[in-house]
Structure 1
């Protein structure tokens, strides 16, 4: 119990405090969430990715192993969510699958890894985050069908590919990997500017999370939503443990994978469902339940992880 209380205070409290201030702000005054989200996605996160890739000591082989393990956990989680929707209409089953299979490895996963494991954990969590961005924008549109509208520019795999290719984070990551492979360093002034932007990322992504949750309202809840939330919060870390061990992950890489897999459903899953005419009520309900429930489950995971050795 003392370990859980310490995890609540040391790891969860800073995250919930900043996100809670964002939710409070959304209740007190109108805030343009789109501007905040675009600022984060198109400027700050690319700067963070560039900064981390150029500075991180994580070996390429370890990063590839961690990324592959994440994809396997995601695939298993999508299947688990699909099973949660057995006997339900197709639209609801797809929404439940996405709700379990797409989790918050960015807004919550990055700061949680930093507070729980320090800079080394944060660097490995960034690897997971990079893989999750591409996977989310491929799997999400493909899962919710071909009735795409809006910015995706098309449905199914074509729309998914277009969404991924429009993400600056993907191109920045590719450029950073090339620079690192060529052993090229940025000029000091440019490097410091990138680092300043990178340092602003975590506070803003947490505020953005709070703004989105605060403006979402209280959806109608039913039994399948509770089941999917439990699958996300309990099944997720168990899958992370099993898959990570099978993939040969050890130490901080295994711990980061398990912690990432214990995160609640991503708000981006709701945004993708809305853009592709999915069952937004179901996704919103699982987002709410899993986010609230994660206060307890993540504390338990953080308290138990040191016992893995």
Structure 2
């Protein structure tokens, strides 16, 4: 476990920690950083990976299906942690358990643990998670939104298809299936942007955590945190085995499901009228607790082979 902490998590903690330190000392325009990441760097990363990854379409589809099943069961587990609580809190506990950080933390940790091949598979998971997050998150809070308002089903799907990552992924898959090569100058430019993605997403994570306050922590927050950090990887192990994932693909799914609650889950709660304090509490608990739980998962993963 110590080796996992030092070799895998320490680089992540250093970069994110520097971002948190910077955000605590000075005012940083996080909106601009987030937009650079979401609308430029992540689409470049997705394009770069899809065009050159050896992961086959069938395997990617199997991995994506497994992720969606794990997400659904994690949402249900989070819902159970909120039994007996008001609807707004219960929905937020569900979202905090079922929407995890497969990007800012999942991608760099997958690269450090598995190398390039695991990173390519983790990018597939991340791509599915982006689309699912912006459908599932608003849907969870939809019943609390005003009827016929801007939070309806049509608006949810419009918001998903406004994400450039979705269109870039579709174009990249088409280019790959049709064997249409891009000019070398274009691919080199895309690769340069892709290489800048991981450092910036880690800094962005640190900036978001450093700028936040200390939210209230109560028993349900701790239960949802346990559902995310302990229940997530256990669910992934069962689901991945059931759908036929093996070796590295199964390990990547389990590692992804062990990640803490995504900061984006908090942003979605704020946008759609959820209990943002509860989500913020689960983000804090799982981010801090994941230092130990991810190290444990990384240490146990070789046993799957």
**TM-score interval for Structure 1 and Structure 2 normalised by the shorter chain:** over 0.9
- SS of equivalent to 2:115: helix
Distance of 1:275 and 1:108 partners within structure 2? 23
Ranges in structure 1 where 5+ consecutive residues have no aligned partner = none
1:99 aligns to what?
Answer: 96
226, 245, 256: which is aligned to 2:241? 245
Distance of 2:236 and 2:297 partners within structure 1? 11
Report the TM-score, using the length of structure 2 for normalisation.
0.98
Distance of 1:81 and 1:134 partners within structure 2? 20
273, 287, 291: which is aligned to 1:295? 291
Distance of 1:159 and 1:221 partners within structure 2? 33
1:35 aligns to what?
Answer: 32
Greater displacement, 153-162 / 245-254: 153-162
Distance of 2:9 and 2:104 partners within structure 1? 13
Write out per-residue CA displacement over residues 83-112 of structure 1, whole angstroms, 9 at most, x where no aligned residue.
Answer: 000000000000000000000000000001
Whether the 8 Å contact between 1:65 and 1:247 is mirrored in structure 2 is: yes
Whether the 8 Å contact between 1:146 and 1:154 is mirrored in structure 2 is: no
Write out per-residue CA displacement over residues 229-283 of structure 1, whole angstroms, 9 at most, x where no aligned residue.
Answer: 0110000000010000001100110000000000000000000000001100000
Ranges in structure 2 where 5+ consecutive residues have no aligned partner = none
1:119 aligns with 2:119: no
CA RMSD of aligned residues (A): 1.0
Write out per-residue CA displacement over residues 203-248 of structure 1, whole angstroms, 9 at most, x where no aligned residue.
Answer: 0000000000111110011000000001100000000100000011
2:271 aligns to what?
Answer: 275
Distance of 1:46 and 1:236 partners within structure 2? 27
1:184 aligns with 2:180: yes
Distance of 1:95 and 1:159 partners within structure 2? 21
Write out per-residue CA displacement over residues 274-309 of structure 1, whole angstroms, 9 at most, x where no aligned residue.
Answer: 000110000000000000000000000000000111
1:226 aligns to what?
Answer: 222
Distance of 1:199 and 1:282 partners within structure 2? 35
Distance of 1:40 and 1:157 partners within structure 2? 26
Distance of 1:155 and 1:45 partners within structure 2? 25
1:174 aligns to what?
Answer: 170
- Tell me how far 1:147 sits from its aligned partner: 5.9
- SS of equivalent to 1:259: helix
1:216 aligns to what?
Answer: 212
How many residues in Structure 1 have an aligned counterpart in Structure 2? 303
Distance of 1:186 and 1:239 partners within structure 2? 40
Distance of 1:112 and 1:154 partners within structure 2? 37
Write out per-residue CA displacement over residues 185-210 of structure 1, whole angstroms, 9 at most, x where no aligned residue.
Answer: 11011110000000000000000000
Runs ≥4 in structure 1, deviation > 3 angstroms?
146-149
1:141 aligns with 2:131: no
